[in-house]
Amino acid sequence: MLAYKEVYNKLEKTFDGCEVNHISRVNNDEADVLANISLQCLPIPPGVFWEDISERSTKAKKVPKQPKKKEKPKKDSGAPAAPETHTSEDEEEPEEVMMIQIPWMQVYLEYITKKEIPEDLVEARRVIRRSKAFTVVKRELYKRSISGVLQRCVTPEEG
């Protein structure tokens, strides 16, 4: 949505005036009907325009590449310099970023067992509010279902 907002902000400057109106869901029956058709995978009714869009309507931001610094070999005073050849080693290799993701249930375990909350206030409130549905049995996190059955929480890899 940010990309669309940036495009809107750029286009807004080219017009003499611009007005954005919020239409509540109650007053937007057409969009609600279309959303329900999509959600329920119903056939498209006659008179409704349908278009498959396979390309992005906004352009992705390009991150400027920083050239790698290479040391130049020292030239001997008596020997002629060899011409530089570009090999695959000279080309930039894409950098890999490794992300270590904490299991989603770790914050709940820490809050229930040690009363430690995340530093982010919004995240902390969310953890405190949602932790009421969880319990710890033998150092494993379980969620109480509506019927009272304990459901063991697992990571996506375990699932």
pTM, entire model: 0.38
Q: State the Rg of the chain over Cα.
A: 28
Percent of the chain clearing pLDDT 70 (strictly above): 74
**Domain definitions of the chain by residue range:** 106-152
Question: What length is written for the chain?
Answer: 159
Q: Is residue 104 predicted with pLDDT exceeding 80?
A: yes
- Of residues 79 and 128, more confidently modeled: 128
Tell me what pLDDT residue 85 has: 53
Mind giving me the DSSP string for 77-130? Answer: SSSPPPPP---TTTSPPPPP-------TTHHHHHHHHH----SSHHHHHHHHHH
pLDDT of residue 142: 92
* pLDDT number for residue 79: 53
Tell me the C-alpha distance between 136 and 143, whole Å. 9
Contact yes or no for 73/22 (Cβ under 8 A) = no
Q: How confident is the model at residue 43 (pLDDT cuts 50, 70, 90)?
A: confident
The residues that bridge with 137 in the sheet, in sequence order, are 140
DSSP class of 58 = S
Strand ranges across the sheet with 150-152: 134-137, 140-144, 150-152
Query: Is residue 78 over pLDDT 60?
Result: no
Whether 17 shows a pLDDT value over 60: the answer reads: yes
- Angle, helices 121-130 vs 106-114, to 10°: value is 70
Helix (H) or strand (E) holding 34, with range, is helix 29-40
Tens of pLDDT, residue by residue over 45-70, are: 777 777 777 777 777 766 666 665 55
The reported pLDDT for the residue numbered 66 is 61
The SS3 call for residue 136 is strand
Give the tens place of pLDDT for each residue, 105-144.
888 999 999 999 888 899 899 999 998 889 999 888 999 8
What percent of the chain shows pLDDT beyond 90? 9
